[in-house]
Amino acid sequence: MTAPVALVDCNNFYASCERVFQPALRGKPVVVLSNNDGCVIARSNEAKALGIEMGAPWLLHREKFERHGVIVRSSNYTLYGDMSARVMNILGRFTPDLEIYSIDEAFLGLGGFENRLETHAREMRRTVLQWTGIPVSVGIAATKTLAKVANRCAKKDPARNGVFEMLEAREIEGALSRMDLTDLWGVAGRMAARLGAIGIKTPLHLRDADPAFVRQRTNVVMQRMVMELRGVPCLALEDAVRDRKSIMASRSFGRPVTTLHELEEAVSSYAARAAEKMRRQSLACAHVGVFLETNRFRASDAQYNGSRGVRLPVASADTAKLAGAACRALRSIWKDGYRYKKAGVVLLDLVKTSTVQGDLWDSPDTPGNKRLMGAIDRLNAHYGRDTLAYAAAGHRKAWKLRRDHSSPRYTTCWEELLAV
Partner DNA sequence: TCTGGGGTCCTAGGACCC
* Contact residues: DNA, CB under 7 A: 34-36, 38-39, 41, 55, 57, 59-60, 101-105, 148, 184-192, 219-221, 244-252, 254-255, 277, 295, 297-298, 305, 307-309, 311, 342, 344, 396-397, 400
343 contact partners, CB below 8 Å, separation of at least 6: 250, 251, 253, 257, 263, 266, 267, 270, 290, 291, 292, 293, 330
How far apart are CB 338 and DNA at their closest, in Å? 16
How far CA 13 is from CA of 16, 63, 136, 197, in Å, comes to 5, 25, 9, 36
How far apart are CB 150 and DNA at their closest, in Å? 13
Which of 381, 325, 380, 312 has its CA nearest to residue 351? 312
Amino acid at 247: I
Name the region of 186 (left: φ>0; alpha: ψ -120 to 50; beta: rest): left
Shorter beta-carbon distance to DNA: residue 342 or 409: 342
Shorter beta-carbon distance to DNA: residue 102 or 407: 102
CB 188 within 8 A of CB 194: no
Shorter beta-carbon distance to DNA: residue 76 or 250: 250
Separation CA 362–CA 181 (nearest Å): 49
Exposed e or buried b per residue across 302-336, where buried means at least 16 C-beta atoms within 10 angstroms of its C-beta? eeeebebebebbbbbbbbebbbbbbbebbeeebee
Strand partners, 348: 287
Shorter beta-carbon distance to DNA: residue 193 or 320: 193
Report helix angle 220-229 to 144-156, nearest 10. 60
Amino acid at 268: S
CB 91 within 8 A of CB 98: yes
How far apart are CB 286 and DNA at their closest, in Å? 9
Shorter beta-carbon distance to DNA: residue 19 or 287: 287
How far apart are CB 371 and DNA at their closest, in Å? 28
Shorter beta-carbon distance to DNA: residue 51 or 55: 55
Shorter beta-carbon distance to DNA: residue 122 or 400: 400
How far apart are CB 122 and DNA at their closest, in Å? 23
How far apart are CB 245 and DNA at their closest, in Å? 4
How far apart are CB 312 and DNA at their closest, in Å? 11
Shorter beta-carbon distance to DNA: residue 159 or 240: 240
Separation CA 320–CA 272 (nearest Å): 8
How far apart are CB 260 and DNA at their closest, in Å? 19
